[in-house]
Structure 1
Amino acid sequence: MNDSPLNTFDTGRPQVTPLSLYIHIPWCVRKCPYCDFNSHEQKGELPEQAYIAAMLEDFEQDLDFIQGRELQSIFIGGGTPSLFSAVAYKTLFKGLQTHLKFADDIEITLEANPGTLEQGRFEGYRAAGINRLSIGVQSFDPVQLTKLGRIHNSDDALRAIACAQEAGFSNFNIDLMHGLNEQTPDDALRDLNTAIAAGAPHISWYQLTIEANTEFYKRPPALPVETDMHRIQNAGGALLAANNFARYEVSAFAKPGHQARHNLNYWQFGDYLAIGAGAHGKISLANGDVLRYQKTRKPEDYLQRKPSRSSKTELIDAIDLPLEFMMNSLRLQQGFTRQLFSERTGLDSQTIEPTLAKLVKQGLLEEESLLIKPSHRGFELIDSILSEFLPS
């Protein structure tokens, strides 16, 4: 950031950490009762052009963070990014490319709500450069969709998936929740079977959690008992594996060649720039420090604030870096290498060696061909593993 004392970079040292970009679109048609993201119900016409201009202006304040790197991936989240037009995204991408190069094989993902899509939008998004979708279905059960406050029905979801495929999207994700209100294992498997039959190459399948500052927190739904939760998780995992979906992260399942590259960069403690109201970024500085920053949350403030839209900027203490790294990398089934730990944190791997040895001895971690990863038991006890990396 040009007005920050942290803006000191050793341009002679090459930056090898991959670079991604997160873009936040904060508006939605209606706030869902489980949602704790920075989303705001649309009131009147969206300030699409003004918001794109604000994000490009914001991006110019963070150019030093690029450090000569190509952009490997973009993820556009929200809110409901599919409320914005393809023309808006084409303008945004063109503006970004005046400041940095997109990798030839860049992955650009758009979160899409089935209730805000029609055929023409999919084709426009493809033409604008978006090559991956994440379709927020959550459930195909009409009763559950109503309880979740979704604005689409099951037919809308299936139609959106089919239209995306007809528009040329062969790489897309379907978001599904499980552990819903009074949901049985059969109900959960029915949702998964529907997504599989629809041709999804990637499925994010995660348990509903009740977060503070949501309607569900004030009025909690009746969730399945713990034994049913375990049955759902075990049966769902087996069903996905039988259909050639590999579980490569806690809640991410992909067919070969369809892992989410943007999310992998998060989980491997890569760098990501951030623009948009409430967006979070993380950057490795050339002097070895790791910087985290956040943009101002309220859309009206983001639109008006000039020149800096950062609301919080902080260095991660070196003593906290092992935990920060593990919180991400241990979500992955493949685990990590000592070399990756050193590259992404700037720390010697010897700093974590005693803890690794202890966890391997306890059977919570295992090492194979230089990869350190949770054992089957450890994957179910991630919180216990992470507690070992807390600063003493």
Structure 2
Amino acid sequence: MKCEEICTDILECGHECCKPCHGSFTSHPPCSAPCPRTCPARGHPCPGKCGSVCPPCMVTLERLLACGHTATLSCFQDIDEVECIKKCDKMLECGHPCKSLCYENCDSECRFYGNIQLSCGHSVTGRCTPKLSCCVPCQKQLACGHPCPDRCGQPCATQCQVMVSASSAENKSLGTLSCPHTPKIPCFLLNNTAQDLNIERSYKCTEKCSAVLLCGHKCCGDCHKCTEQGLHPSCPAACTRRLLCGHRCTAKCGQSCPPCQDKSFFRCPHTKTGAKCGEPPKICKEKCTWRCPHLKCSKKCGSACSRSICPEKCGLKLECGHKCVGICGELCICTECVKLDIKSTQEVYINIGCGCPNANEDIKKHNSTPDVRLFECPLCRQPVQFSNIYKQEYIQCFLNF
């Protein structure tokens, strides 16, 4: 029969065997009592069994590393084999902190980006690098008195390039040009006594030409180019010429005037907008609107009228308080407001739409010349848009144009 009692033999460790009786011919199993041993480093109790090999001590605690930082480590860990993962607290040569980890080698190049104070006293925003230069203009003055054109921190220029008048140059050959202007040369050449013809030729007149062109405008080209080439560039000013149609040219003064793209001046009372300038006018089929209390036209608007100028005077009192000296049924005219000296009380004055008081004979005489142009006012030269009195004359003038 198998013994059911507990073995109470004393083991080598001093504990009693607590396993079922196994007889005297069988060795005792490992002791299962709590291990009474402690870790040799800090005396922490072993968490294993008495009969088992003690495991590495896993108690965690704050340990001081060789770099001076502390880390949470297990008791058994060797601090000489631990890599510190905290940020490096060393300063680089530029004065900024190293951004590597403590166990890593310090940066060979600074990784700082921000506002950096330079040795010149100015500050810049950027990445810290030995090649970082100041972008502020140099505040120093050259020996000639002109400001240094270079940037702060760079060697100042030895030859001032500011263009100055050559009238006081010691080398008199630099002070003459083939044009009326006084040449401008770099400042450093003022005291240059070398008779160098290449230098003389290399610094040409920098003034604008300003010669009066045939059009009346001043030339805006470079003086030395106009002098050398003997030719002025095309005038870039707005064209002041009036086209034959009466509109102003929209091209540049030095260009050929292009075909007019505006609407024609010619239009009758029934037409809201004129045709394209240069196109023949359409013959209006509406009834003619030329009428007054004494006479009335019975023809179509586009045909020759069946009536003539009314022989009666208008005589209406105008808003200015003066009496109209125009013809009955036509646009009113005040000769007193425009201070017109009436030649004769029998003279017929007509307003052809522009407001100018013109004598009938003056209008006919002005528009009977062989000049190629539209029917216009003798005083303001404005093309006539519409007039019942001179309808046929200006239509024929337009067709001839």
Greater fraction of residues in strand: 1
TM-score (norm 1): 0.16
| Rg larger for | 2
Bigger relative CO (Cα 8 Å, ≥ 6 apart)? 1
Greater fraction of residues in helix: 1
